[in-house]
Amino acid sequence: MPYEYNFVFDFTEKDTKKHFPITFEVKEGIKEIIINGNYKPESADETFSKELAKLALRIYLNQGDMPLDIDTLPEDVLEKVMAEFIPVRNLINFRLFDPLGNFRGTGDNRISNGIPIKIGETISSFGCVSGTIYPGIWRLVIETHAVVNKCHLEFKIELNEEEKNINIPELASSYSPVWTKFSPKNGWVKGDFHSHTKHSDGSLSVEELVQNAIDRGLDFIFLTDHNKISGWESAREEKFPLFPGIEFTTFWGHFTAFGITRYIEWDNINSDKGIIEVSELVHSQGGLFCVAHPFTIGDPVCTGCRCIIDVDWKYVDALEVWAGTFSQRRHENTEALKLWRNLLNQGYRITGIGSTDIHSLKDIYPDVPATFVLVEDLTLSNVLNSVKKGRVYVSKGPEVGFRIGNADIGDSISVSKKPTDLKYSISTESDVKIIYNGNEVNTIRNTKLGEIEFVPERSGYVYLEFWKGKELVAFTNPIFIED
């Protein structure tokens, strides 16, 4: 006998960035929960969308090393740029918890597309967690990430005493490992720290994501689906180094955690609490906390994508300096590079990383970065430890070397009035910029290998940037100078 609950909401723009909890009772003997949700309209009309997109673009384009005033752009150019971001959507999601407080799933793209979501004992929708359907009071929290115009939401929750699996698309089938045997590796290993699958808003299965990483020559990846770890949990038999992570997709910014295996509630990051509580929870699991793409396009085009809360940087381990394709995201990436230099100037030892933020194969361009990490053996703990120590460089492909005396990337040397050897290398000819305490102190044009005298007369840091014309090729993390 099926049981059914129906909920209706009418949201306005004032309801943006709020949580609306509802509860429902599950009786003994229920085997599956089916949630049908849909909302209308899905987006603003074209005229209003253009107004909203222009507001977001005004901020986004007026940053970085080549800022633009959109009022100076030809109308046809501006129209072409805005076309990527319109129509501007209403964005509503939900998260579900069982009576024990366990996270059991979200709606993601399925709710916006009107696709039913299933949580079953043996099989569930992507992004949801299968297992016992416990009797008692379940909690569903509706998340209004963006309400750009008046929006009508309807929810129907159906409770069934048997698993039907009829007319339910996008169910997560059993995982098929891509690798069945692990291949040990050490030295400089390269990976991607930011990736998505069908378990959130990506188009790839976990298997397809792993295969793509192999095809790109990566040695490891972190799976960081939005606000969940269900994709990694489903793939525990995978022998390719698929490491656990999460992207906290909040109303106030996006933050990635690397190495956590237990769910953390994302709404603990907010404008009142900041990031401290969640960062400490990540660290309690032995993970690392990272600020992701802090200067990407934000409200209302991509609500929450841009970081708009004050960050206490003492609680941050890494900064996503280079996100996605450099040429298309230049404004945000060069602004992030400036932020990273400024943080290093203030004495924060925050590791700079790069990531593709892959959602589909279309996100992989020739100028997306990989993050290279120096490890004794390729294990999760070694990768996390080396990232924490800054034994990292970021490159769109070429291999890089950087030493001062006997010190390698992430090491420290002492202040000295005596010159020492600074050595660099890159596998493709580039311009090398030597950055000392935030200032470009030397540039060597069209080089692949070299050695110069360097005097570490002041405490601080030195790192290298490699450029080809106006395109960033690679950057290292610092070698630090201590009194």
- 15 shares its domain with 156: yes
**284 domain residue, yes or no:** yes
- 37 shares its domain with 50: no
Q: What is the pLDDT confidence band of residue 109, given thresholds at 50, 70 and 90? A: confident
Q: Has residue 167 got a pLDDT over 70?
A: yes
The arithmetic mean of pLDDT across residues 276-304, rounded, is 97
pLDDT in tens, 134-143: 999 999 999 9
**Count of CB atoms situated within 10 Å of the CB of 309:** 16
Which amino acid belongs to residue 63? Q
| Tokens (6 digits) for 266 | 């994302």
Among 477, 481, 433, 434, which residue's Cα sits nearest to residue 457?
A: 481
Among 288, 281, 260, 244, which residue's Cα sits nearest to residue 386?
A: 288
pTM: 0.97
**415 domain residue, yes or no:** no
Half-sphere CA count of 94, side-chain side, radius 13 A: 28
- 202 shares its domain with 271: yes
Residue ending a domain, among 397, 417, 449, is 397
**365 domain residue, yes or no:** yes
State how many domains the chain has: 3
**12 domain residue, yes or no:** yes
Residue ending a domain, among 371, 397, 423, is 397
In this structure, what DSSP letter does residue 285 have? T
Q: Residue 259: what are its φ and ψ, rounded to 5°?
A: 95, 5
Where in the sequence is the domain holding 227, given as residue range(s)?
187-397
- 150 shares its domain with 266: no
In this structure, what DSSP letter does residue 99 have? T
- 303 shares its domain with 315: yes
pLDDT in tens, 375-394: 999 999 999 999 999 999 99
**402 domain residue, yes or no:** no
Q: Has residue 96 got a pLDDT over 60?
A: yes
Task: State percent of the chain over pLDDT 70.
Answer: 99
Q: Has residue 454 got a pLDDT over 60?
A: yes
pLDDT in tens, 225-273: 999 999 999 999 999 999 999 999 999 999 999 999 999 999 999 999 9
Q: Has residue 166 got a pLDDT over 80?
A: no
In this structure, what DSSP letter does residue 309 have? S
- 263 shares its domain with 322: yes
From residue 167, alpha-carbon distances to 110, 272, 344 in Å are 14, 43, 54
- Strands 151-160, 32-40: pairing is antiparallel
Helices (H), 216-362: 230-234, 276-284, 330-345
pLDDT at position 156 is 95
**169 domain residue, yes or no:** no
- 226 shares its domain with 359: yes
The arithmetic mean of pLDDT across residues 37-47, rounded, is 93
pLDDT at position 21 is 97
- 249 shares its domain with 150: no
What CATH number does the domain containing 99 carry?
Answer: 2.60.120.380
- 126 shares its domain with 242: no
Strand partners for 482: 414
What CATH number does the domain containing 241 carry?
Answer: 3.20.20.140
pLDDT in tens, 77-95: 999 999 999 999 999 999 9
Q: Does an H or E element contain 77, and which? A: helix 75-83
pLDDT in tens, 183-228: 999 999 999 999 999 999 999 999 999 999 999 999 999 999 999 9
Which amino acid belongs to residue 29? G
- 271 shares its domain with 390: yes
Which amino acid belongs to residue 438? G
- 119 shares its domain with 205: no
Residue ending a domain, among 119, 144, 160, is 160
- 215 shares its domain with 120: no
- DSSP assignment of 159-223, as one string? EESS----S--SB------S-SS-----EEEEEES-B--TTTT-SS-HHHHHHHHHHTT-SEEEE
The arithmetic mean of pLDDT across residues 107-114, rounded, is 87
Beta strands in 12-50 (DSSP E): 18-26, 32-40
Q: Please state, in angstroms and rounded to a whole number, the distance separating the CA atoms of residues 115 and 170.
A: 9
**180 domain residue, yes or no:** no
**407 domain residue, yes or no:** no
Average predicted confidence (pLDDT) for the chain: 96
